[in-house]
Amino acid sequence: MSVASGAGEVRQTVGLSHAAEGIAAIVRDTLEVGEARCAIVLGSGLAGLVSRMEGVRTVPFGELEGLPEATVAGHRGAFIAGMLGGREVVALSGRIHLYEGHSAAVATLPIRIMQALGAPILLLSNAAGGIRRSLGLGELMVIADHLDFQWRKGVALSAKRLQGSAVVYDADLRRRLLASAVATGARASEGVYAAVLGPSFETPAEIRMLERLGADAVGMSTAPEARLGHALGMRVAAMSCVTNKAAGISGEKLSHAEVLHAGMAAAEMFSAVVEEFVRGLE
Rounded Cα distance between 17 and 84, Å, is 28
99 is catalytic: yes
Q: What are the residues facing 245 on neighbouring strands?
A: 130
Q: What are the residues facing 19 on neighbouring strands?
A: none
Active-site entry in 220, 223, 239, 267: 220
Beta strand 235-245 with 121-130 is parallel
244 is catalytic: yes
Rounded Cα distance between 81 and 12, Å, is 29
Rounded Cα distance between 105 and 16, Å, is 8
Rounded Cα distance between 77 and 63, Å, is 10
Q: For residues 28, 34, 35 and 37, what is the CA-based torsion angle, rounded to 10 degrees?
A: -80
Active-site entry in 125, 180, 240, 244: 244
Residue 211: what are its φ and ψ, rounded to 5°?
A: -65, -45
102 is catalytic: no
44 is catalytic: yes
128 is catalytic: no
Active-site entry in 127, 223, 246, 272: 127
Active-site entry in 69, 100, 206, 268: 100
146 is catalytic: no
Active-site entry in 44, 93, 125, 126: 44
91 is catalytic: no
126 is catalytic: no
Active-site entry in 97, 240, 264, 271: 97
Question: To 5 degrees, how large is the angle CA 29–CA 33–CA 35?
Answer: 135
- Catalytic amino acids? 44, 75, 97, 99-100, 127, 220-221, 244, 256
